[in-house]
């Protein structure tokens, strides 16, 4: 029997959300134990800061410019490489994806894409290399329309809770403080999607025979907004007792001082003068946030993270009971992070900060292999390295289409010097293009010339109004530079400092040399998200 692989992903979870990464709020003993028994990567970076590009990079092991899903709303072609298909075809692995997928647009009321069509048909069979594929999204329904397999399960079994979740992407006020997209969700914990996913994974494991190798991707939709864990669980972390996050500015004046030294859309978003349509509800205005709203959002996020940790524990305990745990490699990571109050902001978008780029990333190798345990690796790794490592675990050569490398097991391994993250606008009127490199404790972001108003395909779906040029357009000379050792919250932008000109030039050359070697796939934006 070879090594089994359990890939656990969350959605929109910060690096510092785990106790093993410095959190003092949520209790995460299960994931902390994985870190103690394996390798905890302290500088893991994604290749994009929103869902569809990042998730496509996990599946394909490719940079976003290569797989072509450079923004939300671009469906990953079904012909694209899939690590699941590779394991299934080349090594006979049984494969399953249980939970959130989001390789194709979610706004698909005409059922153009298979990801959404499959749930309507009740299809849980082969898709993108996964022999079993059962999906969940962040809510059970959009209006009265059930979302994914989970929404249809809830409609069939507990229809009284179809509307229990908060509205997604509407910034509708709720909870105790009227914070956007919050709700004291009346759904019982056992029917909440986190628990539903874990139970399905356990059922899936019971279908496998002892001599079969398997790869399961267990993909939780939380702690992505809406922030609405079961109300019965809110006792865990009362928001009224929660401190504001360390990255929250001391005052409005302090926030304006920090943000005014960054490129223009940062401050404009904070002041409600610029819509972050590509990473937040279009009608959300950060200037309406109160300190108590930030506290409540954070408290609900921490509760979501505790529930995820406990569901991971259920699955791991089941593996132990079956006698399979020692033969199983377990990964825990996410697609991207969340502002969660940093800079006085929430949500995500074209903000290349560690809040969004830096990932929790833990690999607990099979206990039957000779790997040093309890290691922290501080050299940078990338999201695409996950795919290469999964192939290696399965005893397969890393395929030519995969652009990642097998993960290092210590800082002594060479070849892990930089991480690259990109942003390209989904809405053609915005036309923003960011290129970022992390190296040697520095983060540098280069703003390419904006292309606001140039068609990218979305206008064919939503009309020419999306071509209207956004007021903030960059000329290609703007940028950001941060020394993370001295300024971990990225408050002090050093990009324009004369004393750092040589460093900026060096980082830019390194970044663009790396990008120039990558194949490029051009795909149209086909939906709003």
- CATH number, domain containing residue 357: 3.40.720.10
Task: Note whether residue 138 is domain-resident.
Answer: yes
Task: Note whether residue 384 is domain-resident.
Answer: yes
Bridge partners of 421?
Answer: 436
* CA pseudo-torsion sign 443, 448, 451, 455: negative
Share of the chain above pLDDT 70, in %: 100
Spacing of C-alpha 172 from chain mean position: 23
Does residue 77 have a pLDDT over 80? yes
Task: Note whether residue 472 is domain-resident.
Answer: no
> How far apart are alpha carbons 157 and 135 in whole angstroms?
16
Determine the angle formed by the axes of helices 148-157 and 193-207, rounding to 10 degrees: 100
Task: Note whether residue 379 is domain-resident.
Answer: yes
pLDDT of residue 109: 86
Please state whether beta strands 145-146 and 442-447 pair in parallel, antiparallel, or not at all (unpaired).
Answer: unpaired
Task: Note whether residue 15 is domain-resident.
Answer: yes
Q: Name the residue with tokens 């079904």.
A: 78
Please state whether beta strands 362-364 and 39-41 pair in parallel, antiparallel, or not at all (unpaired).
Answer: antiparallel
pLDDT digits (tens, 9 = 90+) for 119-153: 999 999 999 999 999 999 999 999 889 999 999 99
Cβ atoms 347, 11 nearer than 8 A: no
| Tally of CA atoms within 13 A in the half-sphere of 484 that contains its CB | 16
Q: Residue 408 CB: number of other CB atoms within 10 A?
A: 19
The continuous run of DSSP H or E covering 153 comes out as: helix 148-157
pLDDT digits (tens, 9 = 90+) for 286-300: 999 999 999 999 999
pLDDT digits (tens, 9 = 90+) for 244-257: 999 999 999 999 99
pLDDT of residue 364: 98
Please state whether beta strands 39-41 and 375-377 pair in parallel, antiparallel, or not at all (unpaired).
Answer: parallel
Terminal Cα distance for the chain, rounded: 41
Task: Note whether residue 278 is domain-resident.
Answer: yes
Does residue 515 have a pLDDT over 80? yes
Question: What integer is the mean pLDDT of 200-221?
Answer: 98
At 111, list the tokens. Answer: 């059922």
Cβ atoms 284, 276 nearer than 8 A: yes
pLDDT of residue 2: 86
pLDDT digits (tens, 9 = 90+) for 369-382: 999 999 999 999 99
Task: Note whether residue 521 is domain-resident.
Answer: no
pLDDT of residue 8: 99
Q: Name the residue with tokens 């830019």.
A: 508
The continuous run of DSSP H or E covering 392 comes out as: helix 384-393
Question: What integer is the mean pLDDT of 64-68?
Answer: 98
Domain count, the chain: 1
Residues 6+ apart with CB under 8 A from 32: 18, 19, 20
Question: What integer is the mean pLDDT of 265-283?
Answer: 97
pLDDT digits (tens, 9 = 90+) for 448-482: 999 999 999 999 999 999 999 999 999 999 999 99
> How far apart are alpha carbons 247 and 528 in whole angstroms?
30
Enter the pTM of the model: 0.98
Question: What integer is the mean pLDDT of 513-527?
Answer: 98
Q: What does the DSSP 8-state code read for residue 420?
A: E
Task: Note whether residue 458 is domain-resident.
Answer: no
By residue range, what is the domain housing residue 240?
4-408
Per-residue confidence band for 430, with pLDDT thresholds at 50, 70 and 90 = very high
Mean pLDDT of the chain: 97
Per-residue confidence band for 185, with pLDDT thresholds at 50, 70 and 90 = very high
Determine the angle formed by the axes of helices 83-91 and 384-393, rounding to 10 degrees: 10
């Amino acid at each position: 029997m070879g090594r089994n692989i359990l890939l656990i992903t969350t959605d929109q979870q910060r690096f510092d959300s785990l106790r093993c990464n410095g959190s003092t709020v949520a209790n995460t003993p299960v994931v902390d134990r994985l870190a103690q028994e394996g390798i905890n990567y302290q500088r893991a970076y994604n290749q994009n800061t929103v869902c569809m590009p990042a998730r496509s990079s996990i599946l394909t092991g490719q940079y976003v410019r290569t797989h072509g899903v450079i923004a939300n709303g671009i469906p990953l072609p079904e012909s694209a490489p899939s690590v699941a298909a590779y394991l299934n075809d080349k090594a006979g692995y049984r494969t399953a994806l249980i939970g959130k997928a989001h390789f194709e647009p979610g706004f698909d009321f005409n059922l153009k894409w298979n990801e959404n069509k499959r749930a309507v048909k009740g299809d849980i069979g082969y898709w993108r290399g996964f022999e079993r594929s059962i999906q969940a999204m962040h809510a059970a329904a959009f209006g009265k329309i059930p979302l994914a397999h989970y929404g249809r399960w809830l409609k069939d079994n507990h229809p009284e809770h179809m509307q229990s979740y908060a509205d997604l992407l509407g910034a509708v006020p709720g909870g105790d403080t009227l914070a956007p997209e919050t709700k004291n969700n009346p759904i019982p914990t056992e029917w909440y999607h986190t628990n539903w996913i874990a139970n399905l994974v356990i059922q899936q494991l019971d279908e496998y025979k002892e001599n079969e190798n398997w790869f399961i991707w267990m993909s939780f939709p939380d702690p992505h907004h809406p922030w609405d864990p079961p109300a019965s669980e809110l006792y865990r972390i009362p928001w009224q007792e929660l401190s504001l996050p360390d990255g929250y500015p001391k005052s409005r004046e302090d926030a304006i001082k920090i943000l005014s030294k960054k490129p223009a859309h940062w401050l404009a978003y904070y002041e409600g003068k610029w819509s972050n349509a590509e990473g937040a509800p279009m009608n959300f205005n950060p200037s309406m946030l109160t300190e108590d709203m930030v506290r409540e959002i954070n408290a609900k996020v921490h509760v979501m993270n505790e529930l995820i940790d406990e569901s991971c524990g259920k699955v791991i305990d089941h593996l132990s009971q079956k006698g399979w745990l020692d033969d199983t490699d377990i990964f825990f990571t996410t697609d991207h992070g969340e502002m969660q109050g940093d800079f006085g902001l929430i949500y995500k978008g074209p903000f290349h900060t560690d809040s969004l780029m830096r990932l929790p990333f833990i690999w607990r190798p099979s206990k039957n292999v000779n790997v040093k345990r309890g290691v922290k690796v501080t050299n940078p790794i990338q999201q695409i390295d996950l795919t290469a490592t999964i192939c290696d675990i399965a005893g397969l050569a890393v395929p030519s289409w995969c652009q990642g490398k097998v993960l290092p097991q210590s800082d002594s391994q060479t070849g892990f010097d930089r991480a690259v993250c990109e942003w390209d606008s989904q809405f053609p009127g915005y036309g923003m293009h960011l290129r970022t490199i992390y190296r040697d404790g520095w983060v540098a972001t280069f703003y390419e010339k904006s292309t606001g108003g140039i068609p990218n395909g979305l206008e064919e779906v939503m009309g020419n109004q999306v071509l209207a040029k956004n007021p903030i357009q960059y000329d290609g000379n703007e940028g950001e530079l941060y020394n993370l050792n001295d300024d971990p919250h990225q408050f002090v932008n050093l990009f324009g400092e004369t004393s750092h000109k040589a460093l900026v030039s060096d980082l830019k050359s390194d970044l663009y040399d790396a990008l120039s070697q990558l194949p490029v796939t051009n795909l149209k934006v086909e939906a709003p998200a």
